[in-house]
């Protein structure tokens, strides 16, 4: 199917349109994230298809490289924060083992209580295993905490 804007109408060559399609397909793959490899492919395609009488502005190239660097840095910071958040929530969950907790069931709204017997990290969130229950509870569902009563024998 031809593009609604033909190369002749825009003054662009067919090679540029094909390269743009290929770059777009590469950039929108499963990862859908701009990384150094995708950036370099786009830059090379841009340089190969530039008009010799009006070459690409070097300031623009440097600006794009700086934007890529900043994006990669922010992605790294984001991953670090996610890791730290997961570790923090697992630490919180570990402290709750052996404690009585009260939670509200998200689907029924019913309030339940039980003793935390374990913790696991599942689907990006920390979940608590409750003694005698087949369901797990997220930290955000916990509404009250209390120490497990000790029995004197």
Note whether 97 and 75 are same-domain residues: no
Contact 24, 6 (CB under 8 A): no
d(CA 80, CA 92) in angstroms, rounded, equals 18
**Positive/negative CA dihedral, 115, 121, 127, 133:** negative
Note whether 79 and 108 are same-domain residues: no
Q: What is the pTM of this model?
A: 0.51
Q: Which domain holds residue 140?
A: 89-147
d(CA 63, CA 71) in angstroms, rounded, equals 12
Note whether 78 and 16 are same-domain residues: yes
User: Tokens 């608590």 sit at which residue?
Assistant: 128
Note whether 94 and 111 are same-domain residues: yes
If you average pLDDT over residues 75-96, what whole number do you get?
89
d(CA 139, CA 126) in angstroms, rounded, equals 7
d(CA 1, CA 153) in angstroms, rounded, equals 83
Q: Which helix (H) or strand (E) holds 70?
A: helix 58-96
152 lies in some domain: no
Q: Which of 5-14, 101-110, 134-143 is the least confident region?
A: 5-14
Contact 124, 140 (CB under 8 A): no
If you average pLDDT over residues 78-83, what whole number do you get?
91
**Number of folded domains that form the chain:** 2
Note whether 57 and 113 are same-domain residues: no
∠ Cα 32 34 37 (to 5°):
115
- Is the pLDDT assigned to residue 133 strictly greater than 50? yes
Note whether 78 and 39 are same-domain residues: yes
**11-69 residue pLDDT tens:** 444 444 455 555 555 555 454 566 677 877 887 888 788 887 877 777 887 887 788 88
């Amino acid at each position: 199917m031809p593009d609604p804007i033909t190369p002749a109408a825009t003054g662009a060559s067919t090679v540029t349109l094909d390269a743009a399609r290929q770059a777009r397909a590469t950039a929108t793959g499963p990862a859908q994230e701009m990384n150094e490899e995708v950036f370099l492919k786009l830059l090379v395609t841009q340089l190969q298809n530039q008009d010799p009488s009006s070459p690409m502005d070097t300031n623009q190239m440097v600006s794009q490289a700086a934007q890529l660097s900043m994006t990669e840095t922010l992605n790294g910071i984001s991953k670090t924060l996610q890791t730290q958040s997961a570790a923090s929530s697992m630490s919180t969950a570990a402290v709750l083992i052996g404690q009585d907790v009260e939670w509200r069931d998200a689907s029924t709204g019913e309030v339940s209580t039980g003793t935390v017997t374990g913790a696991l990290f599942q689907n990006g969130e920390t979940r608590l295993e409750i003694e005698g229950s087949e369901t797990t509870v997220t930290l955000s569902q916990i509404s009250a905490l209390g120490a497990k009563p000790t029995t004197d024998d």
